[in-house]
Structure 1
Amino acid sequence: MTLKQKRDAAPAIGFSPLYQQVKSVLLQRLVDGVWVPGSLLPSEIQLAAEIGVSQGTVRKALDELAAENLLVRRQGRGTFVAEHDERRILFQFFKLVPDHGERRFPESAVLNVTVAPADAEESAALAIEPAAGVIRIRRLRALDGRPLILETLSLPQKVFAGLDRAEIPNNLYSLFASRYGITIARARERLKAVALSADDAAALSVATGTPALRIDRIALALDGMPVERRLSLCLTEEAHYLSDLR
């Protein structure tokens, strides 16, 4: 049954533009893993015939997904599912930029990986049961060899089973996609100026009370499920937070 036949047969509950309905169909295929990161999508003509809409409607839906960094349009080659390569993460998710120099992907050094019951904040952020297991990854991130970020990541143990026993790569979002089939689609961040505690300052090799930018990020999968909470303490004496607003 085509999208049009389903729409005609179903009672009207609400209205959304046809291209948005097509977008939802295509997005569900990404969620279901029908198209994996890096794979080539069928042509616009093929998708239009399969779904039962015009090629222009499909094109508009694909353009929106590309604008959201979920698809990549390559001239003369087609449309591909976006991968979490370093360049994509750098411009979509990593916002700390040196004051003098180009935006670069940071190096990472894992300090420790532990498993523990979720605390109240983790439970709320990740929408999991109180005291459900979480994997906590604590690591330092550096630019030009200087540690600038102290991160604590909290991940639902049920979703990322075994990650606490695996090697932790610098590019975690690529691992999420390749090993667990989870693509990070977007994130919400809260920023606040703080003074570093003695332990956090020691990890960053600065004095207790040094000012830092605290970034509290919730990363969401394609289906909107929160799958990562990331607390980042960032030194900004020689770097700044850059956000492109559109």
Structure 2
Amino acid sequence: MERSGSGSSAGAGREGQGEAVDFRPLYRQVYHTLLRRLADAVWQPGQMLPSESQLASELGVSQGTVRKALDALTADSLLVRRQGRGTFAAEHDDKQSVFRFFKLRSDCEDSAAPQSRVVAIAEASASADERDRLALVRTARVVRIERLRSLDDKPCLIETIAVPLTLFPGLAAMDLPNTLYSLYANRFGITIAIAKERLKAVVLPRREADLLEVAEGKPAIEIDRVAFDLEERPVEWRLSTCITDSVHYLSVLR
């Protein structure tokens, strides 16, 4: 695939005290402490966390600081707040994964979930670009997946995905679901926490144009995404090319 272009404490001890110098806001220190516990599977998907007061007492911070950290984790879709019940580690179901990370929407008012068809899947030696984007050694191998994705039964995106073989053994032999991120979490214990995307305008080469059923040279958008797990490791590189005749890219900024 080629591109075109810790610890269990909050880090501050008692609020306003502590030996280590950490210039992040205290709630961000608590955020990363709780994030580490999620990464270490201290709380399984769907499991309820201790109460805000219990966490505050354990970490030596105020309940308000804990609440702010929990709010941030909830905003990042890593926790779920259920009124009257408590806070739970998020379960990585198909619907959540699709609409958190798939940003294309139909121009129609009601946008359905995308459909996917695997074009090719294989294990291979990592290319120079794959090694660079996934921080892999020269001898590393990857699972490389090519998929065609459609909205409202119209092909709109062709994507090539590379993941380290060491993290996803056996992936190439599986029947892949529509949403890979739920498979990563449920089968391999790897939760995608964040993804960084770069967009640029390109023109379609012949092969991609044929798969998308449009003319070669048609203008398109290239989406270059690296996805990171809870430990901030790059675990997936996804290079997507999409046409926007009847779809648009939607990003909600807060």
Q: Compared with structure 1, are the counterparts of its residues 90 and 211 closer, same or farther at alpha carbon in structure 2 (3 Å cutoff)?
A: same
* One-letter amino acid of the structure 1 residue matched with residue 245 of structure 2: E
For residues 34-58 of structure 1, give each alpha carbon's deviation from its aligned partner in whole angstroms, at most 9, with x where no partner exists.
Answer: 1122221121122223323332221
* One-letter amino acid of the structure 2 residue matched with residue 164 of structure 1: A
Q: Which residues of 2 match residues 80-99 of structure 1 at below 5 A?
A: 80-99=88-107
Counterpart pick for 2:29 among 21, 28, 46: 21
Q: 8 Å contact 1:90–1:103 — kept in the other structure?
A: no
Aligned to 1:184: 192
Alpha-carbon RMSD: 2.0
The count of corresponding residues between Structure 1 and Structure 2 is: 245
Q: Compared with structure 1, are the counterparts of its residues 90 and 73 closer, same or farther at alpha carbon in structure 2 (3 Å cutoff)?
A: same
Deviation at 1:131, TM superposition (A): 4.0
Q: 8 Å contact 2:107–2:248 — kept in the other structure?
A: yes
For residues 154-199 of structure 1, give each alpha carbon's deviation from its aligned partner in whole angstroms, at most 9, with x where no partner exists.
Answer: 0100111111111111111011111111111111111111111111
Aligned to 2:154: 146
**Separation in 1 of the partners of 2:12 and 2:239?**
44
Q: Compared with structure 1, are the counterparts of its residues 81 and 4 closer, same or farther at alpha carbon in structure 2 (3 Å cutoff)?
A: closer
Deviation at 1:86, TM superposition (A): 3.4
* 4+ residue segments displaced more than 6 Å: none
Q: Compared with structure 1, are the counterparts of its residues 4 and 144 closer, same or farther at alpha carbon in structure 2 (3 Å cutoff)?
A: closer
Q: Does 1:202 align with 2:210?
A: yes
Unaligned runs of 5+ in 1: none
Counterpart pick for 2:80 among 65, 72, 75: 72
Residue 150 of structure 2 aligns to a residue in which SS? Answer: strand
Q: 8 Å contact 1:122–1:154 — kept in the other structure?
A: yes
Deviation at 1:109, TM superposition (A): 0.8
**Separation in 1 of the partners of 2:240 and 2:103?**
11
Residue 211 of structure 2 aligns to a residue in which SS? Answer: helix
Q: 8 Å contact 2:134–2:234 — kept in the other structure?
A: yes
Residue 199 of structure 1 aligns to a residue in which SS? Answer: helix
Aligned to 2:222: 214
Q: 8 Å contact 2:112–2:152 — kept in the other structure?
A: no
Residue 208 of structure 2 aligns to a residue in which SS? Answer: helix
Q: Does 1:160 align with 2:200?
A: no
TM-score of the two chains, using structure 1 as the length reference = 0.92
* One-letter amino acid of the structure 1 residue matched with residue 41 of structure 2: G
Deviation at 1:115, TM superposition (A): 1.0
**Separation in 2 of the partners of 1:210 and 1:171?**
28
**Separation in 1 of the partners of 2:85 and 2:51?**
10
Deviation at 1:4, TM superposition (A): 8.0
Counterpart pick for 1:7 among 3, 10, 13: 13
Deviation at 1:6, TM superposition (A): 7.5
Aligned sequence identity (%): 53
For residues 53-84 of structure 1, give each alpha carbon's deviation from its aligned partner in whole angstroms, at most 9, with x where no partner exists.
Answer: 33222112111111222111111111111223
Aligned to 2:51: 43
